[in-house]
Structure 1
Amino acid sequence: MTADNFGITALPNLETKLIAADSLTPIAALQMELRDPRIDETEQALTQANEHYFSARTSKTKRKWRDRIGDLRDELAQLLQADQFVAAETVAQLVHWNPFDQNTAAGFFDAQWMFQMNGGFDIVIGNPPYVRQEAIKHLKDAFKKNYDCFTGTADLYVYFFERAVTLLKPDGVLSFITSNKWYRAKYGTNLRKWLNQHTRLQQVLDFGDEAVFTAIAYPTIVIATRRPAEVIKPAADEQIRVLNWAQQAPIETFPAVFAAESFEVAQAELKDEGWQLEPPLQRQLLARIRQAGTPLGQYVHGRFYRGILTGLNEAFVIDGATRARLIAADPNSAEVIKPFLRGRDVNAGK
């Protein structure tokens, strides 16, 4: 083609920049002190080889640097094992992963090994998978070992928050969309505390039970930055911009709605027991109610129960038409089919 490309440069080689990996599984930290100086030399050579491959313009040049990268990776793995800074099983993981094989996924994620990055990412954007804790029992021992926010009943997405923040550089940005249940659920206690200590929350958008996203129940968006250092408690002047979205306006008008209706919440007011993301007047009203009455937990001496837990709603929750059909087939079914309410069925004033 002879058409003018308006001076637009072709994309560089992105194969080694786009990877599939188990981001929740780290590898043992590569220790930096008292190690063979050849490790540093090989790491530097590997970084340079990746830069050459990234900007290569011909197939011949790409092959040359791809082969060089492979040799350096093998050499580095051998040096790390020989120096006993990395366990043999970790070396096996490193060597097995091939950055040029686009049809496989790595069983671990390590930014230093995969991208030669030591300082962390500028931004991590994610929509973590929603997997109930019953389906990840085989992973809990590893999560307990690797994550401070571990709770035996936590959904899978909880661990993605901690992992994402630890992958950021200081003041790097986290932008996540997840379920909002961790704001108040008991399994979110450790995560709420951890985020207050390690992140500066910037914006929280809570969509409640609005049907904004078909694949997510009770969606929320959290934007935060990693603190340069852990704190015991957020500073008094740290404010979060919050919006509780009520879909009374077209979603296209969201920026204007956020500008007009969002409000500030002091991050220090977000308690480990649960986050109250309400406007100031509502928070003041809740505070007066607490002072005037006895909290339910205190009244029942902490004896809370989960209520009905089916384990599989699709098998036990039926609609009215199915109920009528089952009773018509066997009148005794009326004795065992009972009505019940979920949280989403209860609204203010109803």
Structure 2
Amino acid sequence: MTFARAHILPRSGTKRELLRKKGQFWTPDWIADVMVAYVLQGKPGRLFDPAVGQGAFFHAAKRYEQANSISLELLGYDIDKDVVNQARKSGLSDGDLRHVAIRDFVLNPPEETFPAIIANPPYIRHHRLTVEQKQNLSEFAFRATGRRIDGRAGLHVYFLIRALQSLAPEGRLAYIVSADICEGVFAHALWQWISAHYRLDGVITFSPEAAPFPDVDTNALIFFLRNMKPMTTFPWVKCLKRDAKNLISLFAGKTHNDDEGLQIFRRKLSEAIVTGLSRPPLESAHEHTLGDFATVMRGIVTGDNDFFFMTACRARELGIPNTFLTKALGRTRDVIGETFGTDDLKRLEACGRPTQLLTINGLRFDQLPTSIQTYLKEGEERGLPNKPLIRTRNPWYRMEVRKVPPIMFAYLGRRNARFIRNYAGVVPLTCLLCVYPKSDALDFVERLWKVLSHPETIANLSIVGKSYGAGAIKVEPRALERLPLPTALVQREKLDKFIHPRQDVLDFG
């Protein structure tokens, strides 16, 4: 089997921004062949694609039609007429596209249902939707599911709901989508509804080496679903190399031979929904989590780093007294290793990096030094009081406050998520999370940091984090508190004694 060259994505500039706005990421041929093989295995006669784009699924369907000597009618929607015209240039004929309508699938759906639906929906995140679009989509989702879907759901979430509604009885849906569909705050309500009404035939995840969209900052999954009575278990697959053959054998009802390119798990649906469908199954229950030993908070949101976060030299030029400055860290990449000390702070200052956060709290404007009053007036002239985050503060220049965290966490990284021991006494901005051990005892803090920095603990981040492209992971504060800590490490460092200390005394002897 041969595959066409993958569509090359723009990496930056206006073309990249247009890509984000429209959410158009074209499906590679080898992925399209797998998805088509699943939905067409029962020879349904009709295939519907609600987001035709450049026609990758139509091309794959025609290959399948020829290889299996079947007759197939192609139908579809798209909202972008120009892209459908590109599909013609890609080799699809007017006959192939005669049943493609320029139409909004979610808000103006077809009246009929289909035995086979295949989709790579537009990946448009919630902040790129208008208020009116969000309201219409929210109302649609509530009517469809009886549940309120959190407003942070992207268009691709509503696309899935509509696609499932459009399935004929026993119809099949193959759906490739970003991992946030089962990791976001809306995921639990969504998958509770899906798992109660539809059968999950399988999930395919991908290693970074096999990623369908290697130049995209998101991690893709494929879901295979049927409009049938749900089952309690399903195959969960991790694809390790770009090879369609074994995936087709596994999900198209053919004999499958074990292959080193696939990791296959038979999972309970209830466990997978709780753990997260994008995440591997938990090997065992964990006795301890980070939340047993520490609390987590996000770093400081300034509202305007350029104004409030400055170099030491700039602060001196402005005449701002040290009593109104807080040592701060603004970028993860400013931390070279797993510790950050006073020498690192001096290094940043020598390089001209900002390290001083303007912190004005508890004083009226007329009580402030003249130098600060002058600077704040500059901010007013620049319109800072009207910025979204700042306008909720009273006064507008009031700054968030954090205690100095003994440990910081680089929560969004590309294979470099790590816990950082803070010896410099800085507070982080939103680039880092603050980890506050439940004891201030220095020995306890050091032991906890040692456990957190261990490779076994770092590996567990995939259990609680949101996965992105190229191995990146993002972990929110409450999720980080659920991070499992290996029991052997906890016992070796005697952290377990902290949970049930005798007479409230910590003893690490």
TM-score w.r.t. the length of structure 2 is: 0.37
Q: Distance in 2 between matches of 1:265 and 1:169?
A: 26
Q: What residue number does 2:269 align with?
A: 267
Look up the equivalent residue of 1:129 and give its one-letter code. P
Q: What residue number does 2:173 align with?
A: 174
Unaligned runs of 5+ in 1: 1-8, 26-107, 229-233, 321-326
Contact 1:265 1:277 in 2 (8 A): no
CA RMSD of aligned residues (A): 4.1
Q: What residue number does 1:214 align with?
A: 214
Q: Distance in 2 between matches of 1:194 and 1:309?
A: 35
Contact 2:125 2:155 in 1 (8 A): yes
Query: CA 1:339 to 1:197, structure 2 compared with 1: closer, same or farther past 3 Å?
Result: closer
Contact 2:173 2:224 in 1 (8 A): yes
Look up the equivalent residue of 1:17 and give its one-letter code. H
Q: What residue number does 2:104 align with?
A: 22
The Cα of 1:166 is off from its aligned counterpart by: 0.2
Look up the equivalent residue of 1:146 and give its one-letter code. F
The Cα of 1:132 is off from its aligned counterpart by: 1.6
Look up the equivalent residue of 1:159 and give its one-letter code. Y
Equivalent positions of 1:228-247 (< 5 A) are: 234-236=230-232, 238-240=233-235, 242-247=236-241
2:122 is equivalent to residue 121 of structure 1: no
Q: Distance in 2 between matches of 1:319 and 1:346?
A: 10
Q: Distance in 2 between matches of 1:335 and 1:252?
A: 49
The Cα of 1:164 is off from its aligned counterpart by: 0.4
Query: CA 1:235 to 1:253, structure 2 compared with 1: closer, same or farther past 3 Å?
Result: closer
The Cα of 1:136 is off from its aligned counterpart by: 1.1
Aligned residues: 222
Unaligned runs of 5+ in 2: 1-70, 72-92, 251-257, 304-329, 335-346, 358-407, 418-454, 459-509
The Cα of 1:306 is off from its aligned counterpart by: 5.6
Equivalent positions of 1:91-102 (< 5 A) are: none
Determine what percentage of the aligned residue pairs are the same residue: 22
2:221 is equivalent to residue 226 of structure 1: no
Contact 1:208 1:218 in 2 (8 A): no
Equivalent positions of 1:1-350 (< 5 A) are: 17-25=99-107, 108-109=108-109, 111-112=110-111, 117=112, 120-138=113-131, 139-147=133-141, 148=145, 150-210=149-209, 211-216=211-216, 217-227=218-228, 234-236=230-232, 238-240=233-235, 242-247=236-241, 251-252=242-243, 255=246, 259-260=258-259, 261=262, 262-272=264-274, 274-275=276-277, 277-278=279-280, 283-285=282-284, 287=285, 289=286, 292-293=287-288, 295-296=289-290, 331-335=351-355, 340=410, 342-346=412-416
Please identify which structure carries the higher helix content: 1
Contact 1:235 1:268 in 2 (8 A): no
Deviations 1:122-156 (A, max 9, x none): 11111111122111142111111110362111122
The Cα of 1:333 is off from its aligned counterpart by: 2.6
Look up the equivalent residue of 1:270 and give its one-letter code. A
Q: What residue number does 1:96 align with?
A: none
Look up the equivalent residue of 2:355 and give its one-letter code. E
SS at match of 1:192: helix
Q: Distance in 1 between matches of 2:226 and 2:269?
A: 13
SS at match of 2:123: coil
The Cα of 1:13 is off from its aligned counterpart by: 5.7
The Cα of 1:339 is off from its aligned counterpart by: 11
